């Protein structure tokens, strides 16, 4: 079973012996990986741990429902907290440590007076409908990086904008951490796995795979069809109708360069060399806000 720590000082003490340690089978010190989560784990999270184990000797999984990334009226209070079940699942993939701090442990002052802001990249997509969300992500991830001091951190690509922001944060704050983006884990019918999928009713769960199917269809149209702005716009409108006709309420459906470069206009993005495109969607189905994305290979 993983060793569970609830206090920053205890986790730091547990990891300290690995720093500077070498043995006869190692040319360098053991590598530490971090997998940040909010718990209520599913197979997608376990895949992140498996990837971390491939790149590191010690894996720390954090389980913390972070209040600073939830906005007013969002599901912070109702977000499922299933620590015992999560630890049992993590044992099956040989997790070494679980860090499950309290809110008071992570935030001596709440809201914290210190901010970690990510700039223009946060003003699009989820940042438009969830103001302040990525500021909360920035500070909690920065704190976890400072607490664990990992060599590697693994994040899922389902939260594509979050992954891009974290890569920017690591670059700009000079964290000596390799960020690994793990591909989306899907159910057999294509639905991206998410802790919030449990909010779906039985009927909604049958509808939910339409979201991924619509993105796949749009990607195929973009890769094989005409790419003038007018035609691309018609493809987008057609895809929006497919999604809304199924019963979703769309938050956003957009095509971006795969770096989320806001400098590149919609008119020019198909002409930018050495950049693939990414289709990103957030849509409500009942109580569940579902995220998905699909890479578009151009050229």
Binding site for ATP, by residue number, is: 38-45, 156-159, 185, 193-196
- What is the SS3 string spanning the chain? CCEEECCHHHHHHHHHHHCCCCCCCCCCCCCEEEEEECCCCCHHHHHHHHHHHHHCCEEEEEECCCHHHCCCCCCCCCCCCCHHHHHHHHHCCCCCEEECCCHHHHCCCCCCCCCCCCHHHHHCCHHHHCCCHHHHHHHHHHHHHHHHCCCEEEEECCCHHHHHHHHHHHHHCCCCCEEEEECCCECCCCCECCHHHHHCCHHHHHHCCHHHHHHHHHHHHHHHCCCCHHHHHHHHHHHHHHHHHCCCEEEEEEEEECCCCCCCCCCCHHHCCCCCEEEEEEEEECCEEEEEEEEECCC
Q: Are strands 288-296 and 97-99 parallel, antiparallel or unpaired?
A: unpaired
Residues annotated within a binding site: 38-45, 69, 156-159, 162, 185, 193-196
Q: Of 5, 45, 133, 212, which is the active-site residue? A: 45
Q: Is-catalytic flag, 133?
A: no
Residues annotated within a binding site for beta-alanine: 69
Residues annotated within a binding site for (R)-pantoate: 69, 162
Q: Which residues are catalytic?
A: 45
């Amino acid at each position: 079973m993983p060793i569970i720590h609830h206090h920053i000082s205890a986790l730091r003490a547990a990891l300290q012996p690995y720093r500077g340690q070498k043995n006869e089978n190692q040319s360098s010190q053991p590598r530490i990986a971090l997998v940040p989560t909010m718990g209520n784990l599913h197979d997608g999270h376990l895949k992140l741990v498996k990837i971390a184990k491939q790149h590191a000797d010690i894996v720390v999984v954090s389980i913390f429902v972070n209040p600073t990334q939830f906005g007013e009226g969002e599901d912070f209070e109702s977000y499922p907290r299933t620590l015992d079940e999560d630890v049992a699942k993590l044992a099956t993939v040989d997790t070494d440590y679980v860090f499950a701090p309290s809110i008071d442990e992570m935030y001596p002052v709440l809201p914290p007076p210190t901010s970690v802001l990510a700039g223009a990249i946060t003003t699009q997509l989820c940042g438009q409908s969830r103001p302040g969300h990525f500021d909360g992500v920035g500070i909690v991830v920065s704190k976890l990086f400072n607490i664990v001091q990992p060599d590697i951190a693994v994040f899922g690509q389902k939260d594509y904008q979050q992954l891009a922001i974290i890569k920017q944060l690591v670059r700009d704050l000079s964290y000596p951490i390799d960020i690994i983006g793990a591909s989306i884990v899907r159910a057999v019918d294509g639905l991206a796995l998410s802790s919030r999928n449990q909010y779906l009713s039985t009927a909604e769960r049958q509808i939910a795979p339409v979201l991924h199917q619509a993105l796949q269809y749009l990607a195929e149209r973009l890769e094989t069809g005409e790419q003038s702005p007018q035609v691309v716009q018609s493809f987008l409108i057609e895809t929006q109708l497919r999604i809304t006709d199924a019963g979703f309420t769309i938050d956003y459906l957009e095509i971006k360069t795969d770096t989320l470069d806001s400098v590149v206009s919609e008119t020019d993005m198909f002409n930018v060399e050495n950049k693939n495109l990414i289709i990103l969607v957030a849509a409500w189905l009942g109580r569940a806000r579902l995220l998905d994305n699909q890479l578009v290979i151009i050229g």
